[in-house]
Amino acid sequence: MTRRATVAAVDLGAASGRVMVAGVSPDGVALAEAHRFGNGPVRLLDTLHWDALRLYAEVLAGLRAAVAEHPDLASVGIDSWAVDYGLLDRDGALLGNPVHYRDGRTDGVMDAVVAKLGAEWLYATTGLQLLPFNTLFQLAAAADTPAVAAAERMLLIPDLLSYWLTGVAGTEVTNASTTQLLDVRTREWSAELVARAGLPARLLGELRRPGDPAGVVRDMGLPVTAVGSHDTASAVVAVPAESERFAYISCGTWSLVGVELPEPVLSAASREANFTNEAGVDGTVRYLRNVMGLWVLQESMRAWGALDVAKLLAGAAREPALGTLVDVDDPAFLPPGDMPGRIAAACVASGQPVPVSPAAFTRCIVDSLALAHRRAVRQASALSGRDVDAVHIVGGGARNALLCQLTADACGLPVVAGPVEATALGNALVQARALGVVHGGLADLRALLRRTQELRFYKPEAGAEAAWQAAEARVHPSR
């Protein structure tokens, strides 16, 4: 007997948010957009914020539109980027507007906290890569503020929105794993770490797992279901892999590059390579590294003003290959600001000619990103011992044919591109499974996507390896 359910997936990205409606049955998933809206940083005096109340209003508007069109809507799940949070006081009121992870308040904080706790101990406890914006470091930066003193609870962005919709507070575990406050083995808060970091343990509430019920949207009677509320966790659910031997690149503002494992990798080599063991759906480990991603292009385009991305990429495809290369993972590229200027400075510092046009800059960015994909895929495989015979690119980057082909060439592996809306699909499938419409593990959910989602296939160009090897040696001469 085929059952069907209609669910809503709220997916908030750093540049835009959307409310998607998914019709799910054992035969597949059909996705439609109910509402899309812009998102982005708002600078208030010296601090970069998210506009949390606007996000809430847009999500609500999207859900109203979805319910109006689909009165049978059975559930909603919410995911967003990781690490950022709101603080609530004892009455549940928001204490200050959430701060954007690209804000400079954490400058220097990571080094101080790591020096105090010890890099080895921190990795053994949390399994997390060191990124300056991990919640641990954001909270350490804010530790002496009146907001933290008054706070009773910290809620990550999807949990904050869920709380505002339902009045029920909870913390979903895949996103909690990105805070660097969770114990990588038990998947519970690490009381010892919280104490040693000098943070108030009261901020960290009860954890939820994907699939758990998470309240009901007030006035709408719409149940909320916890999903992989870290967008990357939901995206990895929707990687349409056929076997276990795959690497994924969840490719959008960031490229999250890695493999899926049953157990964390906590070796010294893994720590030194700054690989992370984030919590995936169904107890899996997302063993990956953050590569700076299409952010470098997006932020360059912001500096150039209105340019058509398709034309820019077509121009880039005509530029010479592997001409100018930069290390996209240089922390200098993390904050917002003049990106072409920073790329030009990196070219000058490494004795390369500065690109002369937006198309030439774009080629430099896409080549450099493909090279970083190569490095991360190879390291993920070597450090985990997982053989990889295909690379799946999911998310918006799956639309970028130049990047997909260059990633195939750089990795020397076939690339399967799609689905573009992996995050919303992973979000919807976890809800549908909780509703009993689809069954099984991640392999079953992935098989269902393979039946219905449009995928594109890129073969690595024969004989390309020597050129990419030489390119790697140029960007990382010592490795």
Contacts with ligand LFR, residue ranges (CB under 6 A) = 81-83, 101, 230-232, 253-254, 256, 290
- Distance CA(171)–CA(175), nearest Å, equals 8
Question: Residue 94 or residue 156: which is nearer to ligand LFR going by CB?
Answer: 156
Smallest separation, CB 228 to ligand LFR (Å)? 11
Smallest separation, CB 423 to ligand LFR (Å)? 8
Question: Residue 235 or residue 322: which is nearer to ligand LFR going by CB?
Answer: 235
- Distance CA(261)–CA(263), nearest Å, equals 6
- Distance CA(137)–CA(128), nearest Å, equals 13
Smallest separation, CB 31 to ligand LFR (Å)? 19
Q: Lay out the sheet containing 16-25: strands in order across.
A: 28-38, 16-25, 5-12, 75-80, 222-225, 213-217
- Distance CA(108)–CA(96), nearest Å, equals 23
Q: CA geometry: angle at 212 spanning 206 and 214, to 5°?
A: 70
> Are 397 and 369 spatial neighbours (Cβ–Cβ below 8 Å)?
no
Specify the DSSP class assigned to residue 100.
P
> Are 127 and 184 spatial neighbours (Cβ–Cβ below 8 Å)?
yes
Which residue type does 57 have?
A: A
Smallest separation, CB 251 to ligand LFR (Å)? 10
Smallest separation, CB 258 to ligand LFR (Å)? 11
The DSSP secondary structure of 163-222, one letter per residue, reads HHHHS---EEHHHHGGGT-B-TTT-SB-HHHHHHTT--GGG---EE-TTSEEEEETTTTE
Question: Residue 129 or residue 362: which is nearer to ligand LFR going by CB?
Answer: 129
> Are 18 and 424 spatial neighbours (Cβ–Cβ below 8 Å)?
yes
Question: Residue 290 or residue 384: which is nearer to ligand LFR going by CB?
Answer: 290
Q: Is 223 helix (H, G, I), strand (E, B) or coil?
A: strand
Let me know if 387 is a catalytic residue: no
The residue annotated as part of the active site, out of 231, 329, 367, 409, is 231
Question: Residue 123 or residue 254: which is nearer to ligand LFR going by CB?
Answer: 254
Smallest separation, CB 375 to ligand LFR (Å)? 18
Question: Residue 360 or residue 377: which is nearer to ligand LFR going by CB?
Answer: 377
Q: Residues with catalytic annotation?
A: 231
